[in-house]
A and B are shown apart, each in its own frame.
Chain A
């Protein structure tokens, strides 16, 4: 307790030197927590949006379906098996048929995915109710990115060409029934949504689907012959991987920041020991052992970190609280970064993140303070009193 008291007095008495250290360290605390919170928030937000609009409780894929291979789509269809039909009838799942097609925006041909979905479904967060028009023209939903890239507007029409299951080309005029506002690019870019019965009819695939999406929180019927179940973890793996890789680079950045701050602390401690060697000699003359003097300097360093924590909390807590509530706006072209997130990121700060950061910084600062203080053990009291480094 006595050592803490002395260290605290020395710290407060050092004035500007202390406050400069404390300022830098508090900034490091806040930056690390904010930065990591940003990535955790990103991961949570991207996962939440993907679950709401695309993945739901997991998907049964027709065994040939491979989303990374468009050519596999020709064979990725089958009649929905009875065990899944039962769930669909209860309203706990929705079938989706996916086929290749082409559109002709501005007179140029563009290959797209045509996705058929039940208009009355409520499993995915897509506004499929807009597909119920009572009109004879094929109603089509397009995502914001798709609409923007191809100049599609609600009420506008477009020509869709496809090949049915027998390879026969056919085409029809469709009308944009609505625009899907979503953060999930994989249900938006390069694809159009149409009513499932219409698509089945167009493709000559009555009662068939490419996948069946389960309601979030629902457990599937287990193994279904000819179909493979993909759970949330599997379907979110790309997001996790992407966030992980971006987080690694962010960790490098904050390690660099931490290193610079620690270098400053180390430098300050070395200078302090050099400047205060007569004081060290006096402390020894008054009856302090070398160990106690080392402890004073180490505790001083650790207190720098604790004081920085208090200062960081004063401005950091409101700052982090506000950003967690209001989010951080992204530039207009944010979706071109390859991240499926909203136009605002809501950082998420967990207790583990805050505690972990506090422990990491405090421990590292303490170690960095100890290293130069250890040199005191080689200092003779008589040399220290003369202001000499032995």
Chain B
């Protein structure tokens, strides 16, 4: 699989020298994670499902985490997925849930970024550059339709998909979305609905929907196993009237837009998974460096050393893959499917494997909630689900292996 990236556009391809502005955000994100999030991480994890810490968001917003991908003309950092992914790794190494609040906001912005529509962009993107943090969300998943809305071949078979119908200069949206990160507080959602009369999801269409419109109901927050610092909930749309100009890309063009945004997001989510793995590794390294058994530090026991080495290799490999994927996504439109899928598949597996190994190394203490290792394992399982399960990613990767080169 070759990628045609002009060499002079990608001096950072050696991955040792990130662009200075990306490096700056990464350093800011590391400081934010260590100084603001880390002291609160246990509290964020063990609070009731509905609790949300706006002070943490405010600090993240101050360094630009809510607008890293927003063009500079609208007050953003204009950094692309390389900036987003590297920053999210830093935050996820401490608290993946906090990282996902910012990641989901970026995903909510993605259709706007792809729209190229100056009116829509001017209306919604500056929201993220104010004094207070503003969140966005992306509403795809439904009760009966998960993979059916992200695999084109499944679209005709999708059932009970949220509908849209044109009525004058408006679209009327009706239906219900599930498992929507940030839905509780988002200012707007990127919503995907099927044009009335189109079978399954073959008329899938993308809309920007302000969540203060009449008929929008924010449902209850899901009580999740991990990622507890971010809130996932339902969104109900009861005959919600959306201006026609809020449609993105044309009627029935939602599936490719959804795939394009997913390909962008997967590079960033691979950064989160890498962060989860790194966070677990750091805890294991600290423990093995101080714990003495048999008169020796654990790290000097060969079994432990082998485990730590294996974990480290997985983290490093995951990072290289997501940096490559993010760089690829940042230099090609439409965003390619292959590199982000490979990066996410590998990083998700690394997160679970490394967190599992870390828990094993830390032993009984790793099983305690107070040590935080078990939290990383719980979070690792979450990363493996959203933005493409291993099964979906495998289909995407395999399809790329058999795809003919673009002949245009």
Q: Are A and B genuine complex partners?
A: no
> Which residues of B approach A to under 8 Å, CB–CB?
none
